[in-house]
Amino acid sequence: MRITAVQTIVVNVSPFTNWTFVRLETDDGIAGVGEATLIGFEPAVASLVGEIGAPLVGRNPLEAGPLHMTQGGHIAAAALSGLEQALWDIRGKAHGVPVHRLLGGGRPAVPVYANINRGTRDRSPRGVGARAEEAVSAGFGAVKFAPFDEYLWWEAAGRRDLLEPGIRRVEAIRETVGPRVAVKVDCHWRFDVPAAIEVGRRLAALDLAWYEAPVSERDPDAVREVREQTGLRIAGGELQTSLLDYRRLLEARCMDVLMPDVKYVGGIQGVLKVATLAEAFGASIAPHNPSGPVATAATLHAAAVLPNLMTVEYQFAEVEWYWDLVQVEFAVKDGHMQVPQSPGLGVNFDMALAAKYPYQPVRHMQDPRLFV
């Protein structure tokens, strides 16, 4: 078997989101797919998929070995991660087994939570609460929201009034879902340390399951201060791309939950490596995955075999054809999503449907105000 082509497919999902997929074709008819979504950088990712993928053409995918990258930052990391997942998809299909079985096998279903952020256009407390309730009705036992639309510390330091709407939204979620559903809050690094501590202390009264990305992670000491001063479980590390980045966070003892992303950290193998490192520090793993269905599949295979898995993210209700794009749906029941059991990643990428929603430029990664 030889790889014959490397392809990037970008699908527009909403005014906020494009998904980027990587596809490898082989001469015996097996194709592999991976996801490299990096919103706002689609043409750059596609270019690097071509660069990093070119040496694979003509090679046997079962002998391709690990992919290496030392330069190119986040964009190259996304491209490489997409290619890595696509290689796993081919390996699984060639051997006729799901990828998690190649990794040793594990859980048949993994805990998942509903990220309701992008799927919630009505940002009033009532609108947010209603969306949370929908997620619980759909079988999720935990929800996450990024409520602080009004606050960016470099514009609003000291403006307590701009924190209030966010706190109202979290209160509405807790009120709606009741005490038994886990509520997680994502802050997208919008706070300085004083605001993060103040907000964290107020949210603690609402029984938060975790407090995500309250302050910039470039300064692990600042994150640790928020952790120590609020007593909350701190989650983060969704954009890091290397083991060294994670080692720094772990050595600083600033996070309880690391969130490696299969799309940025070197694919499935990258998530496993970060999990192993985290295990040595007593930290849990909750893979970041506000992504399309291929990344969800890849993440589920990795999550199935992690000893220190806490939960997996799923982007709830962002687009109605989410599962149609891969012609399969991984059922959610009692807060768990089933791990794919078909060969490879267990998805059947629908090229015709993808072609109906071509790339549209969005600039949200470049504007922190719009980062959702």
- Nearer to Mg ion by Cβ, of 91 and 288: the residue is 288
Minimum distance of Mg ion from residue 212's CB (angstroms): 5
Q: 337 - beta bridge partners?
A: 110, 332
Minimum distance of Mg ion from residue 368's CB (angstroms): 13
Whether the CB-CB separation of 206 and 172 falls below 8 Å is answered with no
How many residues at the interface with Mg ion, by CB under 5 A?
A: 2
Minimum distance of Mg ion from residue 316's CB (angstroms): 14
Stretch that binds Mg ion, among 43-51, 92-100, 165-173, 186-194 (CB under 5 A): 186-194
Stretch that binds Mg ion, among 87-95, 181-189, 273-281, 358-366 (CB under 5 A): 181-189
Whether the CB-CB separation of 174 and 147 falls below 8 Å is answered with no
Distance CA 23, CA 86 (A): 6
Q: What is the DSSP letter of 319?
A: -
Annotated catalytic residue within 68, 100, 188, 301: 188
- Nearer to Mg ion by Cβ, of 53 and 236: the residue is 236
Whether the CB-CB separation of 219 and 228 falls below 8 Å is answered with no
**In this chain, which residue has its C-beta nearest to Mg ion?**
186
Structure tokens at 355: 């072609």
For residue 250, give every residue at least 6 positions away whose Cβ sits within 8 Å of its Cβ, in sequence order, or none: 258, 277, 278, 280, 281, 283
- Nearer to Mg ion by Cβ, of 91 and 188: the residue is 188
Tokens 């909350």: give the residue. 232
Minimum distance of Mg ion from residue 152's CB (angstroms): 15
Question: What proportions of the chain, in percent to the nearest 5, are helix, strand and coil?
Answer: 40, 20, 40
- Nearer to Mg ion by Cβ, of 84 and 238: the residue is 238
Minimum distance of Mg ion from residue 59's CB (angstroms): 36
- Nearer to Mg ion by Cβ, of 134 and 212: the residue is 212
For residue 152, give every residue at least 6 positions away whose Cβ sits within 8 Å of its Cβ, in sequence order, or none: 190, 368, 369
> CA 54 from chain center: how many Å?
27
For the chain, the farthest-separated pair of C-alpha atoms sits apart, in whole angstroms, at 62
Interface with Mg ion (CB under 5 A), residue from 186, 217, 256, 318: 186
Distance CA 134, CA 130 (A): 6
Does 68 qualify as catalytic in the annotation? Answer: no
Q: What is the DSSP letter of 39?
A: T
Minimum distance of Mg ion from residue 63's CB (angstroms): 37
Distance CA 126, CA 210 (A): 22
The total number of residues written for the chain in this structure = 372
Minimum distance of Mg ion from residue 78's CB (angstroms): 16
Annotated catalytic residue within 100, 288, 301, 336: 288
Question: With 0-12 CB in 10 A as exposed, 13-18 as middle and 19+ as buried, what is 245?
Answer: middle
- Nearer to Mg ion by Cβ, of 25 and 212: the residue is 212
Residues 63-122 that bind Mg ion (CB under 5 A): none
Contact status: 217 vs Mg ion (CB under 5 A): no
Residues 221-240 that bind Mg ion (CB under 5 A): 238
Stretch that binds Mg ion, among 184-192, 246-254, 316-324, 354-362 (CB under 5 A): 184-192
- Nearer to Mg ion by Cβ, of 93 and 118: the residue is 118
Does 364 qualify as catalytic in the annotation? Answer: no
Structure tokens at 160: 């307590």
Annotated catalytic residues are 188, 288
Give the residues lining the site for Mg ion (CB under 5 A).
Answer: 186, 238
